[in-house]
Structure 1
Amino acid sequence: MKKILLSALVAGSTFAAVPSAMAQDNAIDLGIGGFMRGYVAVHDQDDMPGNESRTFDILRDTEVHFKGKTTLDNGLTVGFHTEIRNDLGDGSAVDESYVYFSGDWGRINFGAEDGGAYLLQVAAPAADSNIDGVRQYLNPINYDTLTNGALGTGFQIDYATNSSGKSDKITYTTPKFSGLQVAASYTPDVSGTSRSLGVAEDDELDDRGSAYEIGARYEREIGDFNILLGAGYVTVDVEQKSAASDDLKSWNAAAVLGWKNFQFGAVYFDEENVDTDANENHDGFVIGADYTMGLWVLGASYLNGTYEELAANEGDTERYSLGLTYNYGPGMSFRGSVHHVEHEFGGAIGDRDATSLLLGTQINF
């Protein structure tokens, strides 16, 4: 990271020395933002024989964002956003990079960003949204030792409808009409990566090709009640199918009801042919509730799902979560939560449980 920052400073000083004849007027001033999520984990899990995971460890997730925008005299807003993930061992990587254009007519995203189904997805209340939210950013379970290598350590228990990932795409989001907002995305090649030279290969065996998706979100207040509804659908084509592959299809439907300081919500999710593998499906439901007391938020959630990551086993999963968040400043929070996960893998792996206590903070900057 120090080398990256040093290189950026050297590059900045080099560009500053360019003669004024080559300089251009810049309407957008670049800003820096991001976040740091850091936790300590007290953890116990049922490892397979011959494997052992730590009972105390530190988990963290950090990103630096470069962003900027301007609104022109004609009302058009033009913006740029890039996210760099820093907690990848000794390296960093670009997570998102896109430009956008917006106005009274809506917004267009162009580049590497999540699609419309995820951007408008409604999440159930959570104990700690970093751990039991719509996307699991931190997970203390070591699935490598839990399954003796059948699953990698990066396995996640979440319900995000983001089958197109952050592949290059075009997304249009409408303005809100009486509380309703809709977004649609097109991704030319989910398996491809961002490039400047040469278009992507096509008609590759078992390769993920074009993705089409749509998301919708509706919000309305009636007295002390707040109603939030959402749904999304994604389909990803397989370029050249084999006996082991098929088109990926995923969808979700969600509802959250708020009354004064209480919230209660439920989400159903379904993903067929995960990563275009005809033998892998995800489906299930999540229910959650929270109660806000000034700067404190008490939350709980329950997930019941099936994650068919093992060819011969269904991977039935239940997760129970309870947590407390204290917002001690703008964009700053302390978080404490307890999570218990039960897996029924069947076969040689059998039933595997894990229980975690996590204490941490998130700082947005």
Structure 2
Amino acid sequence: MIKLLLGTAALSVMSLISVGANAADPIKLSFSGFMEQWVGYSDNEGDNGAANYSEVGTFSDVELFMKGSTRLDNGLTVGVNFEIERSGGADGVSDESYVSVTSDALGTLKVGSTMGVSYGLSNHHWDVGALMDDGVHQLFAVNALGDEIDTTHNTSDGHKVIYLSPNLGGVQAGFSYGLINETNVGSVDTLDTNNDLQYNAGIVYSADYDGLSVNVDVNYELIEDGGLTGGGVASTTAGSETDGTDQVKNEESWRAGFTVAQQGLTVSASYLETDNKGTVTGKDSTAWEAGVTYKTGPYGFSVGYFNRATEDSGLSTALEDTTDMYLVSASYNLGPGVTLAGSIVTIETDDASDSSPNQTDEGSNWALITGLKVHF
């Protein structure tokens, strides 16, 4: 039913485009982007299995954005978006690429490779330095468990259909359907068992009360494991659920977040709860973050904290592995589009079932990072 509605909506929009479109100006692309160059000192030895990590590292992050739009005679606006990423040695990787059709009365339809709708509708702590959610800091301070430091829903780009409603009195809702990852470039191939499908739905409320800005969101996500839902293979683990079979099950999660801002001061928090994480039956996870950001003139300061607790299996005897991160950052605007930033980060991990002397997935690691951000 959902797919039928999406197909009908797409056909309706395309039929509207074909009416009276000849007089519109052709799309002209604008070019923008950013480059970030980072260097940092890290202490990652601790309890990480006596691993010998480099103490000084560097990282670069570059993205190029090409965007354009045209307004048709029938009132619709058609836009294109294409992004190229150059990060950590991956040259010329296509990031987002989609076409959008917007109606002032009906909202926006996007089709192409992009993130699910929940990402754009989510509120979370926005750090002024190395970023909180899966940011640059993890390339310096080792996250020994490897669990995501993130309270947004799955942020991978894949081919999707997205609908965003008009903003009505500060309320906007959205829905998306499509692939998590772009394993089949340019199509949603439901017959490929490697393609996990992602459904997102969310709503956000934004308002301004005499200079006090308030944003609140609630979002839901369902990940349908491609071709394997409800199945399973014989388990070699004693005590596994469902009569010796590890069932593969859809992953479900919901999140809520808010930001409150006034006169340069922003307070934010968000919470994420996931059932059947990694499409493993009974494996659950919770994560939350909170932070404060203050900006005055060219200066910016932020403090943030993140916590995740994830069961190490779907068994009734599962223990909770935990990840905690503390992030303190500062920034200084050197001029238009040029910012100097720095962060101090500590990542602490605890594998509840590992008590060996040299634990490879536990430790308290920290890093001091500085970088130059250039936007153009």
Shorter chain as normaliser: what TM range? 0.7 to 0.9
CA shift for structure 1 position 364 = 1.8
Contact 2:177-2:197 at 8 Å conserved across structures: yes
Q: Does 1:334 align with 2:330?
A: no
Q: Does 1:301 align with 2:312?
A: no
CA offsets 1:165-214 (integer angstroms, 9 cap, x no match): 32111101112111111111111x44663446x8725273xx55432211
Distance 1:31 1:57 in 2: 34
3-state SS, counterpart of residue 110 of structure 1: strand
Q: Does 1:216 align with 2:203?
A: yes
Instruction: After TM superposition, list the pairs within 5 Å mapping 1:208-357 onto structure 2.
Output: 209-238=196-225, 239-240=227-228, 241-242=231-232, 243-278=246-281, 280-307=283-310, 314-346=320-352, 347=354, 348=356, 349=359, 351-357=362-368
Contact 1:64-1:83 at 8 Å conserved across structures: yes
In the alignment of these two chains, the number of paired residues is: 327
Distance 1:79 1:257 in 2: 31
Distance 2:281 2:57 in 1: 36
Distance 1:59 1:90 in 2: 12
Instruction: After TM superposition, list the pairs within 5 Å mapping 1:121-270 onto structure 2.
Output: 121-128=122-129, 130-132=130-132, 134-141=133-140, 143=142, 147=144, 151=146, 156-162=148-154, 165-187=156-178, 189-190=179-180, 193-195=183-185, 200=189, 202=191, 204=193, 207=194, 209-238=196-225, 239-240=227-228, 241-242=231-232, 243-270=246-273
Tell me the equivalent position of 1:28: 27
**92-101 or 30-39: which moved more?**
30-39
CA shift for structure 1 position 216 = 1.4
Tell me the equivalent position of 2:12: none
Tell me the equivalent position of 1:48: 48
| Structure 2 unmatched runs, 5+ | 1-23, 233-245
Q: Report the residue type matching 2:153 in the other structure.
A: T
CA shift for structure 1 position 121 = 0.7
Q: Report the residue type matching 1:286 in the other structure.
A: E
CA shift for structure 1 position 36 = 1.1
Distance 1:126 1:90 in 2: 25
CA shift for structure 1 position 138 = 4.8
| Structure 1 unmatched runs, 5+ | 1-24
Contact 2:123-2:268 at 8 Å conserved across structures: no
Question: Structure 1 residues 178 and 137, CA, compared in 2 at 3 Å: closer, same or farther?
Answer: farther
Instruction: After TM superposition, list the pairs within 5 Å mapping 1:48-67 onto structure 2.
Output: 48-67=48-67
CA offsets 1:42-101 (integer angstroms, 9 cap, x no match): 111225335211111112211122222222233221111111221242633112111111
Distance 1:141 1:37 in 2: 15
3-state SS, counterpart of residue 191 of structure 2: coil
Identical aligned residues as a percent: 24
TM-score by length of 1: 0.80
3-state SS, counterpart of residue 162 of structure 1: coil
3-state SS, counterpart of residue 139 of structure 2: coil
CA shift for structure 1 position 279 = 6.4
Distance 1:57 1:307 in 2: 29
Tell me the equivalent position of 1:5: none
CA offsets 1:103-129 (integer angstroms, 9 cap, x no match): 20211110110111111111124353x
Question: Structure 1 residues 344 and 337, CA, compared in 2 at 3 Å: closer, same or farther?
Answer: same
**RMSD value, Cα:** 2.7
Distance 1:352 1:310 in 2: 21
3-state SS, counterpart of residue 177 of structure 1: coil
Q: Report the residue type matching 1:339 in the other structure.
A: V
Question: Structure 1 residues 47 and 56, CA, compared in 2 at 3 Å: closer, same or farther?
Answer: farther
3-state SS, counterpart of residue 283 of structure 1: strand
3-state SS, counterpart of residue 115 of structure 2: coil
Contact 1:140-1:356 at 8 Å conserved across structures: no
CA shift for structure 1 position 156 = 4.1
Instruction: After TM superposition, list the pairs within 5 Å mapping 1:63-74 onto structure 2.
Output: 63-74=63-74
Distance 1:362 1:41 in 2: 15
Q: Report the residue type matching 2:373 in the other structure.
A: Q
Distance 1:335 1:51 in 2: 29
Distance 1:355 1:118 in 2: 28
